[in-house]
Chains A and B, each alone.
Chain A
Amino acid sequence: MRIGRRDSLPGFGLTMGLTLTWLSVIVLIPLAGLFLKTFELSPDQFWSIVTSRRTLNALKMSFGLAFAAALVNLVMGTIIVWALVRYRFPGRRLFDAIVDIPFALPTAVAGVALTSLFAEKGWLGAPLAALGIKVAFTPIGIFVAMVFIGIPFVVRTVQPVLIDLDPEIEEAAASLGASRWHTIYRVILPSLVPALLTGLALAFARAVGEYGSVIFIAGNLPNVSEIAPLLIVIRLSEFRYADATAIAVVMLLAAFLIIFTVNRLQRWAQIRGSATP
């Protein structure tokens, strides 16, 4: 990192030095320690931990359900954002604000609240149990918690794009005889695709690593309803640091892959945005 040009303001050396030091102490060194710890394992050891039945099931549970939840967020998020941006209805501003609650509510609070809601005697759990659907303490419960925490991502990434969409393109399509459905499908939806995919990726990333809101409702049965972050905690409490580290590294690499994808998506969105003046 080199200074590009001499600036007229003072304090670059000092503030940059402090920034890099503090960043290293709090974030970079601890994360590097995680990777260093992994190198203490031989590739065979690493592989046998990651592919052990319980780990594999936990990873499948976290990634699979997170993806399913992100897909629900994609569909519901699109409907919510359409209603919030395009229609006027009583309480619209309130519902707009409500979308942020899953961000703001501490995860442990969300966890106990969802569990109590979907437990067999809960407000929603009781009618669902009458239909023969058990939510709490099953993988469906994990899925419900992941849907909850993912709600804001699609809404908040798509909202600004839909608001800034040029109305003239739609009007042109309509006046040229395109049906409303055709206009939405062929004109509006394509310009929302980068934002929709970004929201999907962000919701997925959040749900994969989620812990607090999931563990209460999950049931936490090994191989059945155990998520990967919980398995890390269990391995730590058993002092099996190597196992915990190996699972963590797999999850961290997946998270980095998702950030990389999101960055590419945003660059794509920018190029698209500048192509249509």
Chain B
Amino acid sequence: MTIEMTLRQDRRSAVADSGGSRAAADAGDLRTEPRAVRIIIITIAVTFLSIFVVLPLVVVFAQAFSKGIGAYLAALSDPEALTAIRLTLLIAAISVTLNLVFGLVAAWAIAKFEFSGKTFLISLVDLPFSVSPVISGLVFVLLFGAQGYFGPWLASHDIRLLFAVPGIALATLFVTFPFVVRALIPLMQEQGTQEEEAAISLGASGLQTFFRVTLPNIKWGVLYGVLLCNARAMGEFGAVSVVSGHIRGETNTMPLLVEILYNEYQFVASFAIASLLAMLALITLVMKTILERRLDEG
């Protein structure tokens, strides 16, 4: 089960229902609590969310700008920061591209055909969501590390996967694996196969059918999956931390640099990078809300 995907479904029903529950709140003395109780519950909810969610976010920006905007910009234009930003963008581009292609292929096979073992296959696709980030990195160390299964062979052929870009990309691919597929399967299942069957019977090839009929129907779903996949790829910390080797100016992504600078007490620099990631998170949330509205409209 993927919580990111259920988010979209409840949003769908939340939008549909907001009119109904307002009517109930207005008319309803039967379905609501005394005024004092209402105020207490709202106060608890708002206070809790403000302390635990809003404050941490505010702290990031307050710390980043605590020595003024000059120090902030200097921290971001540091060569090490720029290398980390570039590496993060590269890793995100690799994992979004591969997951997009895989997601489309897998969603076609899973959503458009009936076969036994479908539920089991979907739960295998979901597997990375329930694995601890550290373990997602560990599995690649066990395969490709010095003591790993392929370690000696890779070393004798002078191929470096671990503590280098390929290892970071593999670990990121693992943790972002389900995002695009899981965004597409329910959407494509809902749309059925009639339009595609019509195109095929009119003489279109399989690929033509996919690009002309299927893809336009699922474009918002594709964007939705890509958005969540990208956010996770750029923000992943645990898995990447295990396989990166923390080589300065080489294998540090933005989240890893946040950690290194923080541990060196370079708080402004650390929070400056963190503020970029926080902005990424906020933009992702806003775009997610917009896409959810599009998806609801159909």
Contact = CB atoms under 8 A, between A and B. Distances in A.
A10 B146 CA distance: 44
B12 to A, nearest CB: 8
Interface string A76-95: 10011011111111010001
Interface stretch (B69-77, B169-177, B215-223): B169-177
Given A4-B115, A86-B32, A258-B130, A99 B10 contact: no
Contact of B31 (A36, A113, A114, A170): A170
Interface string A139-178: 0000010011001110011011001100100110011000
A109 B259 CA distance: 9
A33 B139 contact: yes
Interface residues of A, number: 111
Given A97-B289, A98-B49, A236-B242, A109 B274 contact: yes
A78 to B, nearest CB: 10
A9 B113 contact: yes
B121 interface: yes
Given A156-B3, A209-B131, A22 B45 contact: no
Contacts of A4: 114-116
Given A11-B108, A27-B127, A107 B238 contact: yes
B241 A233 contact: yes
Interface string A1-23: 11111011111100110110011
A263 interface: yes
Contact of A104 (B41, B258, B281): B281
A272 to B, nearest CB: 17
A113 B270 CA distance: 10
A117 B55 contact: yes
Interface residues of B, number: 112
Given A76-B48, A107-B238, A209-B135, 5 more contacts: A3-B115, A19-B121, A26-B177, A116-B271, A245-B138
Q: Give me the 8 closest cross-chain CB pairs, A-B, nearest first.
A: A209-B132, A106-B235, A160-B10, A30-B139, A212-B237, A211-B238, A15-B109, A113-B56
Interface of A: 1-5, 7-12, 15-16, 18-19, 22-23, 26-31, 33-34, 36-37, 76, 79-80, 82-89, 91, 95-117, 122-124, 144, 147-148, 151-153, 156-157, 159-160, 163-164, 167, 170-171, 174-175, 180, 198, 202, 205, 208-212, 216, 229-230, 232-233, 236, 239, 241, 244-245, 248, 251-252, 255-256, 258-259, 262-263, 266
Interface of B: 1, 3-4, 6-7, 9-10, 13-14, 17, 21-22, 24-25, 28, 30-34, 38, 41-42, 44-46, 48-49, 51-57, 59-60, 63, 102, 105-106, 108-110, 112-117, 121, 123-125, 127-128, 130-135, 138-143, 145-149, 170, 173-174, 177, 193, 196-197, 200-201, 205-206, 209-210, 231, 234-238, 241-242, 255-256, 258-259, 262, 267, 270-271, 274, 277-278, 280-282, 284-285, 288-289
